[in-house]
Structure 1
């Protein structure tokens, strides 16, 4: 793929790194592809070679590309990407058209992790956590029937899952929830983009809420799996 279809660059090396990273995250270049040369990037975006080198250094540090003398720059395999790097989370924020392979990878992680997170939340959630979870669910419910409020509904949906991570009161899981927020939002947006009714999704989320309120760890585990099974259907993974 060429640089021609990328948006214009305005700003320094950080903005250039973000622009190129987001192109990689959406599949503009695939693992194994030859990445554009420094000179070509500098000429296309009318920036200095030093700025290009700094931007590429950020992409290299995040595991997106590999620069080898004599071979040029290659896009690394997705398994080598540092998806939980805070900088990667920043680049991913607001993206709704992630590479399908990346969508499947994020979904697989969520399916393995979130039932456990829901179990922990059922054990550790405080009254304040429950209040926040109920508020997020109520926001989902109120915005579900309005097609013009779909973006708002997605925000409440992501907030619902964020509260569950926080309700574990486990330092690592809480940090994971923060780092995963952009990728969770991307999956929620993608899974709900063409859905005409959200009734089934609301019912499944309601079961998660009820299980955590009741402190029922097994029910919370099962309910979280059911939410994710529906997500897989809406993503076209199954």
Structure 2
């Protein structure tokens, strides 16, 4: 297992990772008690202070709560600090067996990404367009290889980079920073979307339309095309499609007819 950033310098690196995997995979559901401190000490061969340190870090991440006289329980999903990079990294690695995460992440992306595309079409510079185009080209080139990799990066890597570049093209510090935090959550859906050749071709055409709308500075069209990309993602994941009609909103909240 990978070393955990939560385990500290004195803890064995697999304790936090093992617990995170068990929680995100659903082996320990919200409300469940995790093993006692002494049991964890025996399992991992570490001191009780080491186990307590790891558990406290998981508590600070919102995953666990310690209840006097009862033990340590997994908290409800709504209490998890999902925008904590440590938590989203665990989600990306371990959430595959849990369909609830897929639905929650998908719903969030549907709510956010079309508007981000709208803003990008209004604010993108030549440098931003180049980054979007390079990511798109990487996706296309990777599909031409047997292992879906090009220049050392996978198709999934380029797909995530494409969406990150659109966030960056808004030139809004909040959206740009949020894209870094959301990168693992985007990766979750990208990696879970197993597509046939025809489905990949359709997905790539939808991505191209987003890119073109941003390049041509057509915010409303970029918004609609972004929603179409997510609609394809939902189909590939077997998740209900997003609503067909999404209002085109200006950055100040006013509806527009042409997105300008």
TM-score above 0.5, yes or no: yes
Offset, 1:87: 2.2
Equivalent of 1:13, from 8, 11, 14?
11
Whole-angstrom CA distance in 2 between matches of 1:133 and 1:100:
30
2:174 maps to 1:175: no
**What runs of 5+ residues in structure 2 fail to find an aligned partner?**
241-260
CA offsets, 1:184-229, max 9 Å, x none? 111100013x534410110100010001101111001001100111
Match in the other structure for 2:207: 205
**Quick check: 2:95–2:101 contact (8 Å CA) kept in 1?**
no
Q: Aligned ranges for residues 67-216 of structure 1 at < 5 Å? A: 67-92=66-91, 94-95=93-94, 97=96, 99-149=98-148, 152-192=154-194, 194-197=195-198, 198-216=200-218
**What runs of 5+ residues in structure 1 fail to find an aligned partner?**
1-6
Whole-angstrom CA distance in 1 between matches of 2:95 and 2:20:
14
Distance 1:136 1:50, change over 3 A: same
CA offsets, 1:118-170, max 9 Å, x none? 01111111100000100000011111243411671011000000101111110
**Quick check: 2:12–2:46 contact (8 Å CA) kept in 1?**
no
2:46 maps to 1:44: no
**Structure 1 length normalisation: TM-score?**
0.90
Whole-angstrom CA distance in 2 between matches of 1:31 and 1:70:
18
Q: Which has the higher contact order (CA 8 A, sep 6+)?
A: 1
More helix by share: 1
**Quick check: 1:9–1:45 contact (8 Å CA) kept in 2?**
no
Whole-angstrom CA distance in 2 between matches of 1:129 and 1:8:
33
CA offsets, 1:70-103, max 9 Å, x none? 2211111111110101222343454572521111
Whole-angstrom CA distance in 2 between matches of 1:57 and 1:145:
47
Comparing 87-96 and 35-44, the one that deviates more: 87-96
SS of alignment partner, residue 29 of structure 2: coil
Comparing 202-211 and 36-45, the one that deviates more: 36-45
Distance 1:216 1:8, change over 3 A: closer
Q: How many residues align?
A: 231
SS of alignment partner, residue 147 of structure 2: helix
SS of alignment partner, residue 30 of structure 2: coil
**Quick check: 2:24–2:95 contact (8 Å CA) kept in 1?**
no
Match in the other structure for 2:254: none
Offset, 1:14: 7.1
Give the superposed CA RMSD: 2.1
**Quick check: 1:96–1:187 contact (8 Å CA) kept in 2?**
no
**Structure 2 length normalisation: TM-score?**
0.82
CA offsets, 1:16-55, max 9 Å, x none? 2233223312222111212111111111111111111111
Whole-angstrom CA distance in 2 between matches of 1:228 and 1:202:
12
Distance 1:144 1:91, change over 3 A: same
